[in-house]
Amino acid sequence: MPETILMSATAWLLFAGASFRFRREAGTTGRGDVRLLRFAATALLAVALFHCGAPLTGERWVRLLTGASIGAVIVVLALSAQPMLAMAPARWLLLASRRATAAVRTVSRPQTTATNR
């Protein structure tokens, strides 16, 4: 149950980072960043569903909804108190994606040397 709460709280933070109100705190710069945050949040909620520790019955849904509700309350309280600090996971995800994109661009760029000029 604690991992469900933690994963769903992180997912709600990523969803909050994609929302219009908290985009500045999350550091989103474009539509691609918003899509990335929404996709990652959806994936985390799906993982939380399959990690609830119960067979695929009504109990799993109850555990997921309970964990997601507790996680949402934690996120609302954190965003009310310190939105910049609370949005750290969203900023880390966006920074990692930007670094990966920059690395791919560097590798895929044609190499020029002094002898080729």
Q: Cα–Cα distance between 67 and 76 in angstroms, integer?
A: 14
Query: pLDDT (tens digit, 9 = 90+) per residue, 37-46?
Result: 788 888 888 8
pLDDT band for 81, please (50, 70, 90 cuts): confident
CA distances for 43 relative to 37, 40, 50, 117, angstroms: 10, 5, 11, 47
The whole-number pLDDT of residue 53 equals 66
Q: Is the pTM of this model over 0.75?
A: no
pLDDT digits (tens, 9 = 90+) for 2-27: 787 878 888 888 787 777 766 666 66
Domain regions of the chain by residue span: 2-104
